[in-house]
Chains A and B, each alone.
Chain A
Amino acid sequence: MTRLVLEGLRKTYGPTVAVDRVDLEVAEGELVALLGPSGCGKTTTLRMVAGFIAPTAGRIFIGGTDVSRAPPYARDTGMVFQGYALFPHMTVAENVGFGLEMRRVAKAEREARIAEALRLVRLDGYAERRIAQMSGGQQQRVALARALVVNPGVFLLDEPLSNLDARLRAEVRVEIRALQQRLGLTTLFVTHDQEEALTMADRMVVMNHGRVCQIGPPEELYERPADLFVAGFLGRCNVFRGTVETPGTLRAGAIALPCDGGVPGQTAAMVVRPERVGIDPEAGLLPGRIGMTTYLGGLTDWHVETDAGTVLVTRPTPPPGDRLRRLAPGDIVHLDWAGTAGRLLSPEPNGELA
């Protein structure tokens, strides 16, 4: 249970900037998710923390000690690799016990801790199995147990769920989070899956092109994204571009739309989440025509064509017979939203609002 601090961390490969001035603090027992599209520098960041990649600039502190130049074996991190990286020539117990052996833990205690770790990941009874005899999900849990059993100061996970099928993924997600909270592990978790990050993280870091776009709790990033990239990467959104007319009104072409504040004359992109858009057959601010309807089981999406462009609206699927349920392509509807639902951002993808 140790604090992790990254200070101006940077890594370049020739002209390629893989990671650019990343500042981050992970508090004791906190789970921070690094989220971003493929190639944005997540793995590079994590591997610099583990000590496999030397930073070009910047510093890394684990528990207050500068480990920027320390070799991996001296860093007190426990990492779960994307492909698990288990030792195929050892049994499950030998895999899990390896870190304890390196720490010269006596045999009796070692065996007790291996058994405990295996129980923790629900693999008791598998100790003597060979790795090749384990399924993907079981291997994943061996990798977890192997990293956890040494009680690492910082727990690192690089897309640990990406090799599991969808159902197992949702299950293991909950298990990892529960373990992490129970053991109070300071954790840095890499993923490109926004749902994974939203459900597991205390705080999230959204990255793009090697840079941090925004850091904050999931609600904050989803509801108050700092820029268009974050808004678009986390969940779905409608974007309207225009000029602020008066505080609370955005003019997009011939139409005035409600927005959250703003300075008159300001050029802005307004982001409205599809679940915040009201839809009504009779009355409302923005008239439109139903285009496509997508039934998603628990949710239904309507794509509504308006003078301000196609607007996506989503709702829990109404019960059969509801008048929304009967909407057909071509039907006229009216859209509406509260001013507070219309977040103003810079029209540049990674820009800040002037």
Chain B
Amino acid sequence: MRAVMWRGGVGAVFAAVLLPMVAVMWLSFFDQEVISFPPEGYTWRWYVNAWEKKQFARGFVNSLQLALVAAGLGVFVGTAAAYALVRAEFPGKAFLGTLLLSPLAVPGVVLGTALYVFFVEVENAIDIDIRATLPGLIAAHVLLTVPWTVRLVAASLQGIGPAAEEAAANLGARPWTVFRRITLPMMRSGVVAGALFSFIQSFENLELSLLLVGPGRSTLPVEMLNYLEFRIDPTLAAVATIQIVLIGALMLVTDRYVNLSRVVS
């Protein structure tokens, strides 16, 4: 009896998580401009439309570039920071830990607006364009990718404990060798998960990008919002479906190499 209830509960949670995604995928095939139930028929034409509207392809490429660079930088900086936070002792450590995680605690729109104002000030001071440039956008997204990496890598480092590293040092390994041969492989799943999640966070971020993108350099989420201002046909559902499938595939592939569920829980 309890097992049945348990399974029922798990099933309900899964349904709650999956249902919106399944609904979006379903909608993307409705053969009508204005969505209504039941559908009048099914079609591929929204996918064709998404392909023909060049802003989506362009936005996709821009987002991909942005997320790859931001996640790459984030993993690098975030891993180093997590290592220092967990293994080293230095003054101000607790403060630095809070500071590194704080972007996650601020609503994206607030952070985006603050960055916009900050960039304007900096532009006035040094006379270099930051808004509407890729580097400016990357700088903003690093504020997402660093905290995510710090969080996941720090959790995995805490789980490992320093004993194996000490054993390696005791066997004659110098600090860099210890890091490369022992620490890094042992926290690999944390680093991979950090990279994956910061990539996703950056790729699908709307709020931070909204004020900072330039003409012709919009990210995919911003392009989707723009499109929504004029039309509400299922093209967006088609674009979203492609995103869901791509990110799902990315997670499945990653999960083959590291056990994601173990890292994230």
Closest Cβ of chain B: how far from A253's Cβ, in Å?
54
Within 8 Å by CB of A79, from B170, B173, B177, B182, lies B170
| Chain B residue, CB-CB nearest to A50 | B170
Which one of A96-104, A183-191, A289-297 is at the interface? A96-104
Chain A residues within an 8 Å CB radius of B173 = 73, 98, 102
Q: Chain A contacts of B186 at CB under 8 A?
A: 87-89
**CB-contact partner of A87 in B170, B172, B174, B182, under 8 A:** B182
Please pick, from B170, B174, B177, B181, the residue contacting A77 in the complex, using a CB distance under 8 A. Answer: B170
Tell me which residues across on chain A come within 8 A of B170, comparing CB atoms: 50-51, 72-73, 75, 77-79, 147
Within 8 A of A (CB), among B182-205: 182, 185-186
Q: How large is the interface on A (under 10, 10 to 19, 20 to 34, 35 or more residues)?
A: 20 to 34
- For B170, give the chain A residue with the smallest CB separation: A79
Chain B residues positioned under 8 Å from A78 (CB to CB): 170-171
Q: Is residue A81 within 8 Å, beta carbon to beta carbon, of the partner chain?
A: yes
11 further A-B pairs in the complex, CB-CB below 8 A; given A71-B169, A87-B164 = A72-B166, A72-B170, A73-B174, A81-B163, A81-B166, A86-B167, A87-B167, A89-B186, A98-B173, A99-B171, A102-B171
Query: Which residues of B lie under 8 Å from residue A102 when comparing CB positions?
Result: 171-173, 177
A182 to B52, CA, bound (A): 80
Does B244 count as interface, using CB distance less than 8 angstroms? Answer: no
Q: When chains A and B are docked, how far (Å) is the Cα of A319 from the Cα of B113?
A: 91
Task: Pick from B177, B181, B185 the residue with the most CB of A within 10 Å.
Answer: B181
A73 close to B172 (CB less than 8 A): yes
- State the CA gap A87–B163 with chains docked (Å): 10
Collect the chain A residues with CB atoms within 8 Å of residue B166's CB: 50, 52, 72, 79, 81, 85
Kindly name the residue among B168, B169, B177 whose own CB sees the greatest number of chain A CB atoms within 10 A. B169
**Roughly how many angstroms separate A79 CA and B163 CA in the complex, as a whole number?**
11
User: Considering the chains assembled together, what is the distance between the CA atoms of A34 and B172 in angstroms?
Assistant: 25
* Cβ contact of B168, chosen from A50, A71, A87, A88, cutoff 8 A: A87
Instruction: Answer yes or no: A11 CB below 8 A from chain B CBs.
Output: no
Which one, A73, A103, A147, A150, contacts B169 given CB within 8 A? A73
Contact of A150 with B167 in the complex, beta carbons under 8 Å = no
Q: Which residues of B contact A273 (CB under 8 A)?
A: none
**Complex A-B: 26 CB contacts under 8 Å:** A50-B170, A51-B170, A52-B169, A71-B174, A72-B166, A72-B169, A73-B171, A73-B174, A78-B171, A79-B170, A85-B166, A86-B164, A87-B164, A87-B168, A87-B182, A87-B186, A89-B186, A98-B168, A98-B171, A98-B181, A99-B171, A102-B171, A102-B172, A102-B173, A102-B177, A146-B171
The complex places the Cα of A102 from the Cα of B178 at a distance, in Å, of 10
B174 touches A85 (CB 8 A): no
CB distance B172 to A150 under 8 Å? yes
Is B169 a contact of A83 with CB atoms below 8 Å?
Answer: no
A87 to chain B, nearest CB (A): 6
List of B residues within 8 angstroms of A77 by Cβ: 170
The residue on A at minimum CB distance from B171 is A99
List of B residues within 8 angstroms of A72 by Cβ:
166, 169-170
- Cα–Cα distance between A87 and B167 once the two chains are bound (Å): 9
Chain A nearest CB from B41 CB (Å) reads: 54
B-side contacts of A75, CB under 8 Å: 170
Q: Which 5 A-B pairs have the closest CB atoms?
A: A102-B172, A99-B171, A85-B163, A85-B167, A72-B169
A150 to chain B, nearest CB (A): 7
Contact indicator B167/A79 (Cβ below 8 Å): yes
Within 8 A of A (CB), among B136-171: 163-164, 166-171
* One of B163, B168, B174, B181 near A83 (C-beta < 8 A): B163
Distance in angstroms between the alpha carbons of A88 and B173 in the assembled complex: 17
Q: Would B172 and A99 count as touching, CB distance under 8 A? A: yes
Complex Cα spacing A71 to B166, Å: 11
A51 to chain B: which residues have CB within 8 Å?
A: 169-170
Interface residues of A in 103-125 (CB under 8 A from B): 103
